Structure 1
Amino acid sequence: MTRPAFLRIHDVPAWWAAETPDAVALLDDGRSLSYADLQRAIDDAKAALAGLGVLPGQRVLLVAENSASLVAFVFAASSLGAASVLVNARLSAQEIDAIVAHAQPQAEIYIDAGFKEGIAHALRRHAMPLDCGLAGSVRAVVAAQHFEPLPEDVAALIYTSGSTGKPKGVMLTHGGLLFVATTLVAYRQMSAADRSYGVLPMSHTMGLTSVLLGTLVAGGSVLLSARFEVEALVDAIETQGLTLFQGVQAMHTALLAHLRRHGRALHRGRLRYIYAGGSPLDPTLKAEIQALFGLPMHNGYGLTESSPTLCHSRFGEHRQDAAVGPPIPGVAIRIVDAEGKDVAPGESGELWASSPGVMRGYFRDPEATQAALSGPWLRTGDIARQDAEGNVFLVGRIKDIIIRSGFNVYPAEVEAVLNAHPAVAQSAVIGREVARNEEVVAFVEPKPGQVVDGASLQAFLKDRISPYKRPSQIVILQALPTMTNGKVERTALKTMANAMPRRPEAVPSS
């Protein structure tokens, strides 16, 4: 069966509903929806949005967590020529209000996935019940009376900041999302027999593009999960027929801890592909996960602004390092210095990328758009290098670099060494300003049942890392704080570090 070249994201479920109507598309809270069922749900949601006056070029705010109803509304908005503004219901009231004010949605939709946050936001925003024939409580409110239209090819707005700064709405196109999804289907050799675990939030591009859209492009099925629970992941792998699991490193870390805590093995079932994204891959975690599954741990790289994937490790390749792979077909990259000139091969610099998946820009923010885009190139803000085989290695974020007594310290490098300690589950390193300098602060989460302290970790680091890279302070936490997408919440750690007493520090030697 030859798939067509899909032009709009809603073309994907519509085509499979016509070709294989009885095939399973989604599994959600014990329910199984065929592609025909999904298309009926999309049609019902489309009628409800049309009744709210949604027109082409407008925005539909979707405050929700992963569910079949959310999937239906995403494709329904697309079929009306509108764009979805995808917002996780676990965001604060302040963050959601800032997004609403900036996005100017014609309609706000609040979908109850069984958690208190969604319905609380709906009531606070005076949303009323919406009769749309979908499972769960759906509430809506008509919002903007005047709006700034979007470019016609924009499918989704995803906001990259909230209460921590000015929200930026990333305008992602139908063509860009479909380019990434279709390319990953080929890269991962996916088919209609595949089943993915839909636990990464669809309010982020990994969950939306790599998991949901990619799996549906292949004609496969997605087992939806609103929130990550390690017991549910184990059950999904062992009994629900998962073939692909994509998660962030915190999920893989939690899985290992769970198995150790209960002293049990994991039966792999049909699982054939595992992936960790969202942050530079820790080599120790990679080795442990590969040993657990007997499969290569795949890795990749991308940004919200690129829909997201730019690089991906070669399918089936066993590597011991943490390379994120070469650029995927259709993507070009440059490694440049501070003046935008290409660096010598193998040297580190800022990664620039050109891809069909690159955003149209930031909605209503031409200055930020101009700063991020240079002709066809997206300035990623990430420091990387590329080896002779084309593999890309992430070094760190420009904004995360710690400048300590004139030396550059990359958090990922320090974290990799800390994570190699047998008692450490994961760590996060941040910079903290001190008088005329910046110091390194490390936060460490021990493995279950393990006891570790700052002194023993400092001793462990002594012969493994340069003096200027060693933390001035190591803080032990039972669990590192995480955001809704599973990534470590570094902003919260910075706030915590800044509230701690500063320690006098001698200028380190190299």
Structure 2
Amino acid sequence: MPALAHSGAAPTRLHQLIDPWVAARPDALAVADAHVSLDYARLHAVTVAAAAQLQALGVRAGDRVLIVGENCAAVGVFVLALSRLDAWASVINARLSAREVDDFVVHSGARRVLYTTHVSPDAEKHAQRHGAQRVDWQGLGPLPVGPLAEAVEAEPCHAAAEDQVAALIYTSGTSGAPKGVMLTHANLMFAAMASVHIRRFGPGDLIYSALPMAHVVGLSTQFLGCMASGSAVLLEPRFSPAAMARAFADKGVTAFTGVPAMFVKLLEWSRDQGVPLAAPKLRFLCVAGSPLTPALKADVEQVFGLQLNNGYGLTETAPTVAQTRIDVRRDDCAVGVPLPGVKTRIVDATGAEVPDAQIGELWVRGPNLMKGYYRNAAQTRAAINAEGWFNTGDMARRTDDGALLIVGRSKELIIRSGFNVYPVEVEQVLNSHPDVVQSAVVGRTVEHNEEVVAFIETVSGTAFDEPALRLYLRERLSPYKLPTEIHCLAQLPTTPSGKILKTALEAIARQQTAA
């Protein structure tokens, strides 16, 4: 495990994470993209300059500032600069629609909106819609800034890291309406430091980051985890299997975390192109954001000769709740044991704990838990009880060694003829078929019952043989778990981070029955 450079008082703000490395390794690479490369000394200088410029642009402590863009060094600089001002950073993926972005601007009460147009044509469109003007930023070049919202009020500020909000992150809304999650400096630094320890990040590591910083994994465990460890992060605006393969082969990447779909697409690209995947420096691989299937785990491990680690978390928990350990080999798809300091309970519908190995709803409490949902105290109270337990809405059970195994969302549970069907179980069997790239299973209400509806994406060039797939499923699933319908789509709908949008698939399923 790398020795951390922090000495003396613990940091209380995000920007302080880099201070030890500015002193100890000023010339070491900190953050890079296709346009900008900053060592720790330069990152510090550029961040200080950006904070001064933001202040000159009217940004105050307690203000919310939206960063509409895609992964690049500028996003990281702005996050650290806003930390210096005690302003809240809210990174918004530029690929969202005009309505979605505008809703976030209004809901957050943004004082200013910044745009990383140099890496995102979509950010340019939003900037033009909002009448943004280009401003020169030291070390970053010209980037647009939206008009000052003079009427918005600043939120109160707090000296304690556990009270002061650092980031306002909007959930992806894969299974419902997005919510503004308030994460404090303490929340994010806890997750960042946990990433350092468990993933053993340190000087000399180069982390490849294709997960958007608009989502909590990209911001917290990747960007801030790198900053806390003295390692370097290579930021990719958009995931591309070809770009990822080149980075692994030629740029000395040592660690990568992605959603399952990224690994699926990378392996598929390698097969289609006939190009073997080379990763001479790679030492750590991890999946997050969506359930891992045994078939994908086996395929990735065979190709890279490394364990594919698994983790679990939510935006509300900054994000990490549990993580598999590098030195503990797992052949299952459990997400590991909870982080030190994070408490978990698995409960039934009455809130009583269930025996080990039984399925129940997962509750979490710890220093990673959000301050609450912005401007929605009622929603916060519904999610976090009086004792500080957060109801994740996920169904889980404990394995024999105490690891958590996530079996699905409680809201996604399908009750078919009185039997419980967990979509992830059906998806794992579907994904184990050699012709299926990825799948998603949703429920559909019919008269007095629910049906199982499956959507699949097949390997390129492979014809969809539904009878053969149904035979394969019948050999591996109980009759009540078998899909009523199987729909083959050219591409499953996903969020910008690669998570499958089940709400969109549920709408398709409803339309099918209406037709």
TM category (shorter chain) comes to over 0.9
Q: How many positions carry a matched residue from both structures?
A: 503
Amino acid at match of 1:140: G
Which digits, 9 at most, give the CA deviation of each residue in 1:326-362, with x for residues without a partner?
1011111110111111111221111111110100000
Structure 1 CA distance, aligned partners of 2:96 and 2:118? Answer: 14
Q: Equivalent of 1:320, from 323, 326, 331?
A: 331
- The 1:45–1:81 alpha-carbon spacing in structure 2 relative to 1, beyond 3 Å, is same
1:2 maps onto 2:14 in alignment: no
Amino acid at match of 2:477: I
In structure 1, stretches of 5+ residues that fail to align are 504-510
Structure 1 segment 186-197 matched on structure 2, within 5 A: 186-197=197-208
Q: Equivalent of 1:70, from 68, 75, 79?
A: 75
After TM superposition, where is structure 1 displaced by more than 3 Å over at least 4 residues in a row? 161-167
Q: 1:355 corresponds to which residue?
A: 366
Structure 2 CA distance, aligned partners of 1:272 and 1:116? Answer: 34
1:146 maps onto 2:152 in alignment: yes
Amino acid at match of 2:181: V
Task: Say which SS state the counterpart of residue 137 (structure 2) adopts.
Answer: coil
Task: Say which SS state the counterpart of residue 141 (structure 1) adopts.
Answer: coil
Deviation at 1:285, TM superposition (A): 0.3
Structure 1 segment 72-471 matched on structure 2, within 5 A: 72-133=77-138, 134-135=140-141, 137-147=143-153, 149-150=155-156, 152=158, 153-160=164-171, 166-374=177-385, 375-471=387-483
Structure 1 CA distance, aligned partners of 2:394 and 2:485? Answer: 26
CA contact (8 A) 1:246 1:274 kept: yes
Q: 1:508 corresponds to which residue?
A: none
Q: 1:57 corresponds to which residue?
A: 62
Structure 2 CA distance, aligned partners of 1:81 and 1:137? Answer: 22
Structure 1 CA distance, aligned partners of 2:35 and 2:224? Answer: 21
Provide TM-score, normalisation by structure 2.
0.94
- The 1:268–1:390 alpha-carbon spacing in structure 2 relative to 1, beyond 3 Å, is same
Amino acid at match of 2:260: Q
Q: 1:489 corresponds to which residue?
A: 501
CA RMSD of aligned residues (A): 1.7
- The 1:310–1:366 alpha-carbon spacing in structure 2 relative to 1, beyond 3 Å, is same
1:32 maps onto 2:37 in alignment: yes
Amino acid at match of 1:390: G
Structure 2 CA distance, aligned partners of 1:108 and 1:119? Answer: 12
Provide TM-score, normalisation by structure 1.
0.95
CA contact (8 A) 2:22 2:40 kept: yes
Structure 1 CA distance, aligned partners of 2:282 and 2:474? Answer: 40
Structure 2 CA distance, aligned partners of 1:165 and 1:315? Answer: 34
- The 1:384–1:144 alpha-carbon spacing in structure 2 relative to 1, beyond 3 Å, is farther
- The 1:432–1:193 alpha-carbon spacing in structure 2 relative to 1, beyond 3 Å, is same
CA contact (8 A) 1:252 1:289 kept: yes
Deviation at 1:297, TM superposition (A): 0.4
Structure 1 CA distance, aligned partners of 2:146 and 2:99? Answer: 19
- Name the stretch that deviates more: 37-46 or 200-209: 37-46
Which digits, 9 at most, give the CA deviation of each residue in 1:31-64, with x for residues without a partner?
4211112112212221221012111111111111
Structure 2 CA distance, aligned partners of 1:107 and 1:264? Answer: 45
- Name the stretch that deviates more: 355-364 or 317-326: 317-326
CA contact (8 A) 2:135 2:142 kept: no
Structure 1 CA distance, aligned partners of 2:73 and 2:285? Answer: 24
CA contact (8 A) 1:98 1:162 kept: no
Deviation at 1:151, TM superposition (A): 5.3
- Name the stretch that deviates more: 72-81 or 98-107: 98-107
Structure 2 CA distance, aligned partners of 1:246 and 1:162? Answer: 21
Amino acid at match of 1:468: Y
Structure 1 CA distance, aligned partners of 2:436 and 2:417? Answer: 28
- The 1:163–1:490 alpha-carbon spacing in structure 2 relative to 1, beyond 3 Å, is closer
CA contact (8 A) 1:171 1:361 kept: yes
In structure 2, stretches of 5+ residues that fail to align are 159-163
Task: Say which SS state the counterpart of residue 430 (structure 2) adopts.
Answer: helix
Amino acid at match of 2:155: P
Structure 2 CA distance, aligned partners of 1:151 and 1:342? Answer: 38
